[in-house]
Amino acid sequence: MSQPDIQNAGPKIRFVNVYKRLGRQQILRGLDLDVFPGESLVILGRSGGGKSVLLKHLIGLIKPDSGSIFVDGQDISLLNERQLIPIRRKIAMVFQGGALFDSMTVGENVAFPLREERRYSEQEIQERVAEMLEAVGLPGQQEKMPAELSGGMKKRVALARSVIRRPEVILYDEPTAGLDPIMTANIDRLIKEMKKRFNTTSVTITHDMQSAFNISDRIAFLKSGRIQSVGRPEEILKSADPDIQNFIQGVADESDEAIQQLMQSQAS
Ligand SMILES: Nc1ncnc2c1ncn2[C@@H]1O[C@H](COP(=O)(O)OP(=O)(O)OP(=O)(O)O)[C@@H](O)[C@H]1O
Ligand SMILES: [Mg+2]
């Protein structure tokens, strides 16, 4: 993948010394991170380490206790709900769970964000919906109801709905978890396509190392509430850091297990 122009562009997203406590747990402890325009950044880290919490800060769902979060140079940690509206227009988050509107067809679900913008013709909406469904491996499924879909299919519809507006920034929270290898490759392709066609900046959380290396310009490793290392995939792979090496090894085992389970559940 092409390298983002890190030298000449200011960061699209910048976390500066962010601290966040939830309940009795100190989740983020002085986290710093820059994401550059058009960059695809992957975040790796242990389950429960604060990856989803980190992403939720970017759409103002969670506020930092201290520190700042800049989007295009604006500190969004100071904004109220009304002031966050334009930020949320700019940044789409594909949630780990990805709920659909159960009473709407797949096509209506995916079309929803475009209809809300009230500036597209019906024909344009239908074309974009068809294009998105194809991109997530569900061509021609417009008329299905969510109840008729498998978990993985629902997840892909939710993803299509999140990215159909072509937002400047997309946050993907485990977009391929629970998907089979072919669908995983499909979603990886979609993530790369959004970057290539629309210069989308993205932050993706994944436990799938193959995806991580496939889609990322850089990989950041979250540990103990901070970004412990960040670098190009090959640098991370070669890192002498035992935490990173253990993680890469451990995750590889974990995901193999997940694939095994998936194949077993499909066979039964
Ligand atoms: N709203 C909340 N209130 C209290 N604690 C929370 C809240 N959201 C998250 N946590 C806690 O913060 C920690 C980090 O959660 P987070 O969801 O960010 O983990 P994660 O790194 O995304 O893990 P996974 O890989 O399993 O998705 C967890 O211990 C979780 O229980
Ligand atoms: Mg998470």
Tell me, yes or no, if the pTM score tops 0.75.
yes
Q: Would you tell me which CATH number, out of the four given (1.10.260.40, 2.170.190.11, 3.40.50.300, 3.10.180.10), belongs to the domain 13-267?
A: 3.40.50.300
> What separation in Å is there between the alpha carbon of 53 and the centre of ligand 2?
7
Any residues with Cβ below 6 Å from ligand 1, and which? Answer: 22-23, 25, 27, 45, 47-53
pLDDT tens, per residue, the chain with 268 residues: 445 444 455 899 999 999 999 999 999 999 999 999 999 999 999 999 999 999 999 999 999 999 999 999 999 998 999 999 999 999 999 887 678 999 999 999 999 999 998 899 999 999 999 999 998 889 999 999 999 998 888 988 998 999 999 999 999 999 998 889 998 998 999 899 899 988 999 999 998 889 999 999 999 999 999 999 999 999 998 888 888 888 887 755 555 565 556 666 666 5
Q: How far apart are CA 144 and CA 153, in angstroms?
A: 11
Token couple for 189: 């392709």
What does the buried/exposed string (b/e) look like for 58-67 if buried means 16 or more CB atoms within 10 Å of the residue's CB? bbbebebeeb
Q: How far apart are CA 105 and CA 83, in angstroms?
A: 32
Which ranges of 8-150 does DSSP label H, i.e. alpha helix? 51-58, 81-90, 106-117, 122-135
Q: How far apart are CA 165 and CA 174, in angstroms?
A: 20
Residue nearest to atom 17 of ligand 1 (CA): 52
Determine the 3-state secondary structure of 35 from DSSP. strand
Tell me the CB-side half-sphere exposure of residue 54, using CA atoms within 13 A. Answer: 37
Q: How far apart are CA 28 and CA 222, in angstroms?
A: 10
> What separation in Å is there between the alpha carbon of 106 and the centre of ligand 1?
30
